[in-house]
Amino acid sequence: MTATTDGSTGAAIPPRAAAASDTDSTDPLAAGVPEATERAVARATEYLLALQDPEGWWKGDLETNVTMDAEDLLLRQFLGIRDEATTRAAALFIRGEQREDGAWATFYGGPGELSATVEAYVALRLAGDAPDAPHMARASAWVRERGGIASARVFTRIWLALFGWWKWEDLPELPPELIWFPTWLPLNIYDFGCWARQTIVPLTIVSAKRPVRPAPFPLDELHTDPANPNPPKPLAPLASWDGAFERLDRVVHRLRGAVPRRVRRAAMNAAARWIVERQENDGCWGGIQPPAVYSVIALHLMGYDLKHPVMRAGLDSLDRFAVWRDDGSRMIEACQSPVWDTCLAVIALADAGVPADHPKLLKAADWMLAEEIRRPGDWSVKRPELPPGGWAFEFHNDNYPDIDDTAEVALALRRVSHPVPDRVDGAIARAVRWNFGMQSKNGAWGAFDVDNTSPFPNRLPFCDFGEVIDPPSADVTAHVVEMMAAEGLAHDPRTRRGITWLLAEQEADGSWFGRWGVNYVYGTGSVVPALTAAGLPTSHPAIRRATHWLQQAQNDDGGWGEDLRSYKYAREWSGRGASTASQTAWALMALLAAGERDSEAVERGVRWLTDTQRDDGSWDEPYFTGTGFPWDFSINYHLYRQVFPLTALGRYLHGDPFDKAPLATRRGVRATAEGS
């Protein structure tokens, strides 16, 4: 372990390899790389096929951090339903994630994080861990050294306020009257990204009610000065946005008592109706755990008892986020990714040479087709005339299909020779129309909404938990461009606008920023295959710059890696980190698309993947290479380590799948072009 720029200890930055040159390259054939790759692909294919559920989907565990587990226990404590077995299993997991210095990190090998440490500590206190136990004493000392609870994020202090461990009046105000703001007014709920919107609406009820359940123990040991736990902080300068919003929050606090009770009651009722209307068929909200937790609390405060159908379904859905492990511990997933995992698995298997009419691919295609969302959701607030057609990330999330999943599902379906091609063509035609309709005015695409770029939500005092807007990103835009190219629409003016935006967004060093994956390796690995699929020659300057950057970023061991610290310290960490299977695959996918198959960089990357593969055909990957909020919320998708290496190795062996006649058939091109 080495010291990093943020003063923490984490994975050492590996040295970069020298750039590949024509003079020192070796012949992959002589080195036996293709033969080793064929063996690796065969093992990986067998392993991935065996993971498919009988219904046709794939889903790997989605690992985040211990705040999910801590907040699950706090919810159960608040509702009075916490049981000993669940508590014991959750505590076992939380203890296992603690660092030697007493803190908890939010990603593997990362620095300790204050709010995560506070929440984990409180959860272990609920589980009966004594404050003077060595692991607890280390944690509380670490918290105090960093300012105590007063320095934790707002959401952590909201949880503590539910039990009287923090004062509600010392938290930013969240008036429920926000629910009435029209869409043209700044800071209306649709100015927030869908994940933040689903969290903020129930929290307005919680903030208005200010409930307090009796605390089962004090938390004096987490304050720097228990007698004065929250000393006043100086306001930011009035001329700054932060200063303006801090003063606005003080005004809203003063007006709290001036709001007529009937007005506030009506606003809370409107917020409650909004919440209930967005509950999914499985009882969850948006397919993600945090909004579900806050929605259950808000509705409970509005008088919904725990036996009410809405509450029963909500609590049952939260149980489905639990992953019980062989050691008896219990990990909570922030969400589940079956649609995403399934389309990526189909792409990997098809690109690896599995026949397009393989029974397991057909079953996966049927499952994906059945998951198509054919009704409007929150996206239609901005696009009321746009017909629906797309896919979400999760099992149940009809309110929030996303552009990224829709693009990748279409690319996956085109790789399958379905016995009812018209069914596939119709679904993809609707997906093309919907994705084109969700294009932002700058020509690019965000994940869930159109032009979700207001600068104000991120400035609000209570929005300190990560990204709360959904601006267009290079990775999502690239996947849409790749989808359109696969449908024969690379020259459509709308696709060309996306390409123009991507070219303008390239970093000076040749990389692209990765919003939903870590980070510049993911962005570059997404954009280069899309640009070449859309017809850019491999000699294009943007492709050459990206290729050079990837070659410079390659590790001495032949792989690629990038630490999440690149989101915070881009210059030091861009394209740097311990080699991982998924990030090596992303780099290879870009280099292969750029025409670098016979280069030394590709050979060394392929060798790293074949050499690090386990005997059962899998790869190990403890590092987090997925992104929820850049830096603030990180994800380890457990299937990434399997699907992306198989995709890269398959393309190394077989080339671009859409260059092959069976997969290049564009049955739906005319329909998609005419229907969009």
365 and 220 housed in the same domain: no
CA distances from 410 to 251, 429, 530 (A): 49, 9, 14
Report residues of the chain scoring pLDDT below 70: 1-31, 245, 249, 659-676
Domain boundary among 332, 366, 393: 332
Same domain, 508 and 619: yes
Distance (Å, whole) CA 155 – CA 558: 42
Do residues 596 and 666 both lie within one domain? Answer: yes
Is residue 641 a contact partner of residue 581, using CB atoms and an 8 Å limit?
Answer: yes
* pLDDT of res. 30: 44
| Token reading at 364 | 């996966």
CB atoms under 10 Å from CB of 555, counted, come to: 23
Determine, yes or no, domain membership for 75: yes
Whether 408 and 449 map to the same domain: the answer is: yes
Among candidate residues 269, 304, 332, the one where a domain is terminated: 332
The distance between the two most distant Cα atoms of the chain, rounded to a whole number of Å, is 81
| Structure token pair of residue 400 | 């929030």
Domain identity same for 642 and 585: yes
**Do 171 and 165 contact (CB within 8 A), yes or no?**
no
Residue 615: inside a domain: yes
384 belongs to a structural domain: yes
Judge whether 445 and 480 are in contact, CB under 8 Å: yes
Residue with the two structure tokens 């801090």: 246
Tell me if 254 is assigned to some domain.
yes
**The predicted structure's pLDDT at residue 657:** 73
Same domain, 322 and 455: no
User: pTM for the whole thing?
Assistant: 0.92
Same domain, yes or no, for 449 and 500?
yes
- DSSP-based three-state secondary structure for 148: coil
- Going by C-alpha positions, the residue among 16, 34, 19 that lies closest to residue 597 is 34
pLDDT for the residue numbered 22: 39
CA distance readout (Å), 193 to 179, 218, 463 = 15, 36, 12
What is the rounded distance in angstroms from the CA atom of residue 219 to the CA atom of residue 531?
A: 55
Residue from 592, 593, 597, 639 nearest 619 by CA? 639
Which CATH number characterizes residue 395's domain?
1.50.10.20
pLDDT recorded at residue 669: 42
Catalytic hit among 69, 378, 404, 557:
404
The answer to whether 305 is a known catalytic residue is no
Q: What letter represents residue 405's amino acid?
A: D
Whether residue 307 sits in one domain with residue 341? no
Side-by-side strand order, sheet with 62-63: 62-63, 633-637, 626-629
Which of 290, 309, 332 lies at the terminal end of a domain, its last residue? 332
Is the sign of the CA dihedral 613, 615, 619, 622 positive or negative? negative
Asked whether 512 and 527 are in contact (CB, 8 A), the reply is yes
In a domain, 322, yes or no: yes
Domain hosting residue 204, numbered range? 65-225+236-332
Per DSSP, the residues of 160-219 read: HHTTTSS-GGGS----GGGGG--TTSTT-GGGS-HHHHHHHHHHHHHHHH---PPPSS--
Q: Given phi > 0 = left and psi -120 to 50 = alpha, else beta, which region is 557? A: alpha
342 and 56 Cβ atoms separated by less than 8 Å: yes
Count CB-CB contacts under 10 A for residue 509: 17
**Based on the structure, what is the number of domains in the chain?**
2
Question: Is residue 20 in some structural domain?
Answer: no
Residues 321, 391: one domain? no
Are 590 and 525 within 8 A, CB to CB? yes
CA separation for the pair 309, 314 (Å, rounded): 8
The DSSP code for 332 is: E
Does residue 410 lie in a domain region? yes
209 and 115 belong to one structural domain = yes
Burial code of 491-503, b = ≥16 C-beta within 10 A, e = fewer? ebebbbbbbebbe
* 389 falls within a domain: yes
Co-location of 250 and 205 in the same domain: yes
386: Cβ contacts below 8 Å, ≥ 6 apart:
379, 380, 433, 434, 437, 438
Q: Measured between alpha carbons, how far is 413 from 56 in angstroms, rounded to an integer?
A: 13
1: number of CA atoms within 13 Å, CB side?
Answer: 11
Predicted local confidence at residue 33, as pLDDT: 87
Query: CA 442 to CA 498: how far, in whole Å?
Result: 8
Same domain, 249 and 385: no
Long-range contacts of residues 133-138, Cβ cutoff 8 Å, at least 24 apart: 135/95, 135/98, 135/102, 137/102, 138/101, 138/102
